[in-house]
Chains A and B, each alone.
Chain A
């Protein structure tokens, strides 16, 4: 389930959780489980992280650890239960031993020893020598922990003797190892070394790696105490090898740490650093406080020897921190132990107290019994009086009862009324609910109706849209068709134009060449050959005509303005060649005149003919062109100062006849006014 607690609540819980954590920490410290301590320490550092996650996770964690705390108690309880009904046999011994171990882990040495001793006694009774040896060993360990070396040694030796009797090599080796440690603690390093070498030999023989490594480590330590660092190193490295073979990280770290220390003593600082750092890494992985403490101490020492005082200080601080926590641990262990002892003492005291209290009570009882007897006599008199009082009491009681019953009745009535009220209320609520339901149903029906109407409207709209769309489509397609047709026509027109121009180009060029050749031929000949002249002229005339046709086909030239321009150009070219000065007068209004194509074409052709004639025959030096549009009368006039000709004579060649024909075609009036020696005027008039 995911809850998002509000801020205030969260903060309160957070504080509460933190409090639990602190209590947890102290409790676990009392247990003295370094592993648990590490857990808590890790937990602390990750507390920040956990805060962001669901706090329930947090609480679960705590509850779990709480239960593990409770579990050891539970285990003890369960063991004790077993003991209650156990038979006097080796199993009971084993149970007692296990119980002792549990108490030892908790730091409750008193209880531990008690159980071990019970185990020892039972083992003796049933002749279970293994059990005896084990008990002696374990007791020895406790005394060792407490620093009571003589007691420890005594027990270890007892264990050793039994192991030798039993030919238990492993036991012998282990006992020698422990005894050696005691000697070392007492400062007898030679003795210690002897025992450890014995232990090593046996462990190697039976091929127990763990024991061998431990032996090597201890031998190394012994040599170290004797300042024989080379030997110490050799043994430590041997231990390290075995530890690596075993893959026991804790052992590896331990061996490395010790080797590092020796290297420091040997002043081989690079190797010392290497080993110590490796040891530290492993120690951090393992999280063993003792290991960490030792490693930091080793590193601090090496740093200070090599002059890295800042680093040394840092490592020393860490060493102190771990040492203190261990001291706290051991102190707390002691405290716990003392507490336990105190508790048990207290309990004993309480038992004694209770017993004496019990006794006191008994005495008192007797006394009061005696006193009662004397009182009893004087009591009978009082008895009668009491009876009377009692009757009175009974009467009062009955009255009270009656009153009570009345009250109860009233109360019941009230309850009934209340119930009735509630029933009415609920009835009313039901009615209301029904009414609301009806209303909602009505609303639903209305909504359905409106939906239907909307749908109908939508349908109608859709239909309209469809019709409109169809209409639009029809219109659009019509236009598209139209434009398509137009484009087609345009394409056709363009094609026509292209054909025309290509044709024109080809034909025209050839015609032009004919003209040139004829000219050249003439030039080459000594005499005048009229035929050549004709050839040249004809070809040029054809060229001209073609140019005109192509020009008029071109729809771009439909405007009258363009025709005027063409006239101008024509005059310019033709007259320019003959050096005839001219003026071309066509004002802007005229150019805007709208004339049908037939008219335009004929006008132009007439103009051309007239101009050609002028240029050919008139020998004029000046010419005047005027095109006007006055009062809806369109007029074109061409005048020159040439020699003129006799207009009345019909035989004037095709030119004049053509002009007349053309003028007639467009319904225009053509006036030719010419007198020999007086120039020529050709005038065209048209009703616009």
Chain B
């Protein structure tokens, strides 16, 4: 079944090109390409995509906020952030807000499709910088946020990631399979999400929404 992808990108050329790329490729279908997030929830509700490509820098509601909004309503939706350059902070913020992963805009088109597929399958590519940041957070035990409760294994994987090891190398180093590595990375993400989800719940309780 074709993977349903929705695009949010304010640059017209890119938006059009992505649309054509995805829609024209086998196994993929583009359910919509939007310039901004003003009707974000409506669009998602109407078209029900599997994966969302979200630009970070957009007028009005920026990508990171959009991710937060989406995460509340659709916890299982896969969101891939698109960034033009690796602004570590923004990337980390998006993941913290609940993104499933990110890709650089200068990725070759083929890679883009690969990434989308990988995300759809549950994988979540994490670059070393992001991994390092995650480690930092865990190490600091910042008082604002709860403990991430990373398992020992997950921390090991993170460290390897920070070193820049590929999945295969990590698998070798930790004596586990590549799939297991993937699984660990996924759970790390989820822990970040849960954390962000947890915050959302906390806010809701505070404002008596729940």
Contact = CB atoms under 8 A, between A and B. Distances in A.
Contacts of A550: 85
Contacts of B111: 577
A575 B166 CA distance: 9
Given A506-B11, A551-B85, A571 B164 contact: yes
Nearest to B126: A572
Interface string B15-41: 011101100100000000000000000
B166 A582 contact: yes
Determine the main DSSP class of B at the interface with A. Answer: helix
B163 A513 contact: no
B10 to A, nearest CB: 8
B57 A505 contact: yes
B20 A509 contact: no
A546 B108 CA distance: 16
A416 B168 CA distance: 138
B183 interface: no
Interface string B124-145: 0001110010000000000000
A124 B125 CA distance: 148
Contact of B128 (A511, A569, A579): A569
A578 to B, nearest CB: 10
Interface in A541-588: 543-544, 546-547, 550-551, 565-566, 568-569, 571-573, 575-577, 579-585
B160 to A, nearest CB: 10
B164 A508 contact: no
A536 B109 CA distance: 10
Nearest to A507: B84
Interface in B90-123: 104-106, 108-112
A42 to B, nearest CB: 69
Instruction: Identify whether the interface residues of A are mostly helix, strand, loop, or mixed.
Output: helix
A547 B106 contact: yes
Contacts of A258: none
B128 A565 contact: yes
A505 B84 contact: yes
B67 to A, nearest CB: 18
B11 A540 contact: no
Given A544-B106, A547-B84, A516 B128 contact: no
A325 interface: no
A304 interface: no
Determine which residue in B18, B21, B84 has the highest number of CB atoms from chain A within 10 A of its CB, and name it. B84
Interface in B33-84: 57, 84
B13 A520 contact: no
B17 A512 contact: yes
Interface string A511-528: 111111101100000000
B14 A513 contact: yes
A543 B106 contact: yes
Contacts of A566: 86, 129
Interface string A114-126: 0000000000000
A569 B110 CA distance: 19
Nearest to B21: A516
A252 B175 CA distance: 122
**In this complex, which of A509, A580, A585 has the most chain B Cβ atoms within 10 angstroms of its Cβ?**
A509
A420 interface: no
A504 interface: yes
A510 interface: yes
A547 B24 CA distance: 28
A547 B85 contact: yes
Contact of B9 (A501, A504, A509, A585): A509
A505 B20 CA distance: 20
A511 B57 CA distance: 16
Contacts of B169: 581-583
B86 A569 contact: yes
B105 A582 contact: no
Among A516, A536, A569, A581, chain B packs the most CB atoms within 10 A around the CB of A516
Interface of B: 9, 11, 13-14, 16-18, 20-21, 24, 57, 84-87, 104-106, 108-112, 127-129, 132, 162-166, 168-169
16 contacts: A505-B11, A511-B106, A513-B11, A513-B16, A516-B14, A516-B20, A520-B20, A547-B84, A565-B128, A568-B162, A569-B86, A571-B164, A581-B166, A583-B163, A583-B164, A585-B163
Given A513-B11, A515-B109, 5 more contacts: A509-B11, A547-B84, A551-B85, A569-B127, A584-B163
Interface of A: 501-502, 504-506, 508-517, 519-520, 536, 540, 543-544, 546-547, 550-551, 565-566, 568-569, 571-573, 575-577, 579-585, 625
